[in-house]
């Protein structure tokens, strides 16, 4: 270190000279000024000799050897200062927030706090940090949303939770399911998995009211579920609501199908056969026969048309609720007809519902990957609303991944029921994670989520893999998501691009 105190020491001898200036004659004062100027010049020459223009050290380290120079052999060094995040939050209320505690899975580094950021929604709910069990993850393409969701899912599954990934349009979760010992269901034209809309689903041990499940109650619930799903499929295929006598025809054909299939599983071909018989029958009402004929034409598409092979038989997909993770790969549906997509969502959604509403199957994360796709489908959106409202009762935590808040508007025109439903999801979401946004979307995000200017700047500057977590009403943490070496090849969505560029192996 350069010593820069030498100059004032050397000038200290001038003080009497300067004091004398006020006395004496003009000539004497001029002489004194000259002496002082020379002394100053000499002092600066003595101290400014360094090549780098800085004053050179004039005294040995520890001070010049003379009595009472007040220089010792020690250096004054400030002790490091540490304090708890809680105290800092009190002392600097607008700068540092209290952290979220240590219970949960490690997600990454708290960029400003410098510590680890851990997350477990069930623990946070218990600690009353959050009051709802849903999260929205938003960010531009490639900002790191899926990687973040995969970190949360993988690490919480390793801590004993389960996960269900719906609407994985890119099939990027297949490898995650493999990594965690789970299963992937592939639906779509030409895919090996078939989903039967008339399945019973998974029988829970208790009713939604907490009563033991009796055979009678279960039979009533299964009938209601089958009717509901058949009605949804009918509406998709007819492209309008199921009306009047069509309801009667639907429920009569269902009852006949279940009866004739017992003790086996009823399937759509059986249901269609009963519709056909009803349409030519002269025993019952004419309007029911006509309604059955209309439904027959619509449902026949499932066994003959472009939907053939997807829903027309017993379920082959493995919806085992004991598996740690199940992912629904809908990649094959990209480019399929609108009806195929909607029916596939309705059928897999119905299975998912029976899995998540079953309190026997434990705490589960439900991830809507590419969530804008689910939001734009009415049946899926209705299910999501239910899942959002009842997440606490079901023991689930919902994660909706979207690019921007505007994606919620895809649900329907302004003022429509669908648009209102999609918006209400946002209102019921207590954890919002904001990754880098396109500039055009930033202002909307800022306004709708009530970001402060500093938070907006933070989002604007976010690097890939870093996001702003708003947890509950008061906690905001900027988190750099970290991946382990084992996770990198499992999470990386760039693998394909790299291999397409000439077989380069991912990190
Ligand atoms: N936390 C992270 N650390 C390092 N790289 C990351 C991180 N998050 C994302 N990436 C990189 O960005 C790529 C795209 O991330 P991804 O999560 O698929 O983005 P998004 O889902 O937002 O489109 C990943 O394949 C990876 O290479
Ligand atoms: Mg993604």
pLDDT digits (tens, 9 = 90+) for 196-232: 989 888 888 888 777 888 999 999 999 999 999 999 9
Number of the ligand closest to the Cα of 489: 1
At CA 287, angle to CA 284 and CA 290, rounded to 5?
Answer: 100
Q: Which ligand is nearest to the CA of 464?
A: 1
SS3 302: helix
Nearest CA to ligand 1 atom 6: 465
CATH top class, domain 131-192+320-500: alpha beta
For ligand 2, the distance from its centroid to the CA atom of residue 470, given in whole angstroms, is 20
The model's pTM is 0.77
Ligand 1 atom nearest the C-alpha of 144 is 17
Residue 13 has a pLDDT of 43
Closest-CA residue to 116 (of 102, 132, 135): 102
Over the chain (507 residues), what is each successive 10-residue block's mean pLDDT?
A: 41 44 74 82 56 66 67 67 77 67 91 87 94 95 95 95 92 95 90 87 83 90 92 91 91 94 90 92 83 91 83 86 92 86 87 80 90 83 88 90 89 82 90 93 90 89 94 91 93 64 34
Residue among 494, 472, 497 nearest 483 (CA) = 494
- Find, among 379, 376, 386, 387, the residue nearest to 413 by Cα: 376
Query: For residue 479, what are the CA distances in angstroms to 194, 376, 395, 507?
Result: 41, 30, 26, 22
Ligand 1 neighbours by CB, cut-off 6 Å: 139, 141-147, 464-465, 481, 483, 492-494
- The atom number, within ligand 1, closest to the CA of 139 reads 22
Domain residue spans in the chain? 131-192+320-500, 196-314
Burial 63-102 (b: 16+ CB within 10 A, else e): eeeeeeeeeeeeeeeeeeeeeebeebbeeeeeebbbbbee
Q: Which atom of ligand 1 is nearest to the CA of 149?
A: 17
**Atom 23 of ligand 1: nearest residue by CA position:** 142
List, in sequence order, every residue forming a beta bridge with 326; answer none if it has no partner.
164, 183
The number of CA neighbours under 13 Å toward the Cβ of 231 is 17
Partners of 399 in the beta sheet? Answer: 135, 367
pLDDT for 470:
94
Q: pLDDT tens digit string along 254-281?
A: 999 999 988 889 999 999 999 999 998 7
| Angle between helix 268-280 and 286-299 (nearest 10) | 140
């Amino acid at each position: 270190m350069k010593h820069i105190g030498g100059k004032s020491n050397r000038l200290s001898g001038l003080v009497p000279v300067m004091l004398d200036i006020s006395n004496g004659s003009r000539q004497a004062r001029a002489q004194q000024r000259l002496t002082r100027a020379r002394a100053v010049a000499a002092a600066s020459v003595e101290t400014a000799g360094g090549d780098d223009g800085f004053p050179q050290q004039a005294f040995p380290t520890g001070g010049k050897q003379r009595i009472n120079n007040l220089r010792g052999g020690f250096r004054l060094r400030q002790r490091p200062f540490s304090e708890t995040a809680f105290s800092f939050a009190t002392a600097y209320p607008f700068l540092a927030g209290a952290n979220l505690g240590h219970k949960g899975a490690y997600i990454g580094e708290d960029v400003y706090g410098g510590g680890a950021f851990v997350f477990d929604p069930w623990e946070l709910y218990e600690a009353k940090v959050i009051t709802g069990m849903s999260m929205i993850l938003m960010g531009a393409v490639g900002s790191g949303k899926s990687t973040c969701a995969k970190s949360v899912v993988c690490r919480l599954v390793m801590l004993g939770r389960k996960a269900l990934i719906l609407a994985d349009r890119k099939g990027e979760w297949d490898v995650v399911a493999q990594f965690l010992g789970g299963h992937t269901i592939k639906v779509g034209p030409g895919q090996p998995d078939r989903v039967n809309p008339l399945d019973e689903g998974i029988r829970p041990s208790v009713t939604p009211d907490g009563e033991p499940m009796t055979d009678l109650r279960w039979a009533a619930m299964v009938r209601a579920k089958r009717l509901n799903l058949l009605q949804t499929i009918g509406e998709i295929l007819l492209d309008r609501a199921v009306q009047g006598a069509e309801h009667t025809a639907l429920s009569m054909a269902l009852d006949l199908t279940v009866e004739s299939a017992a003790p086996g599983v009823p399937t759509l071909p059986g249901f269609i056969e009963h519709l056909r018989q009803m349409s030519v029958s002269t025993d019952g009402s004419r309007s029911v026969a006509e309604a059955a004929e209309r439904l027959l034409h619509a449902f026949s598409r499932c066994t003959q048309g472009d939907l053939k092979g997807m829903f027309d038989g017993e379920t082959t997909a493995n919806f085992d609720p004991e598996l740690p993770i199940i992912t629904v790969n809908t990649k094959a549906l990209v480019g399929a007809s609108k009806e195929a997509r909607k029916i596939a969502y309705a059928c897999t959604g119905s299975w998912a519902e029976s899995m998540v509403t079953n309190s026997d199957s434990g705490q589960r994360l439900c991830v809507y990957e590419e969530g804008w796709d689910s939001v734009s489908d009415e049946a899926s959106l209705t299910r999501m609303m239910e899942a959002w409202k009842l997440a606490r009762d079901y023991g689930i935590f919902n994660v909706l991944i979207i690019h921007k808040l505007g994606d919620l508007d895809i649900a329907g025109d302004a003022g429509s029921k669908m648009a209102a439903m999609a918006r209400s999801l946002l209102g019921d979401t207590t954890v919002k994670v904001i990754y880098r946004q396109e500039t055009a979307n930033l202002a909307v995000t800022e306004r709708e989520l009530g970001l402060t200017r500093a938070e907006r700047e933070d989002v604007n500057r976010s690097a890939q893999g870093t996001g702003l977590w708003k947890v509950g009403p008061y906690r905001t943490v900027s988190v750099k998501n970290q991946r382990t070496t084992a996770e990198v090849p499992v999470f990386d969505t760039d693998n394909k691009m790299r291999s397409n560029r000439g077989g380069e192996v991912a990190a």
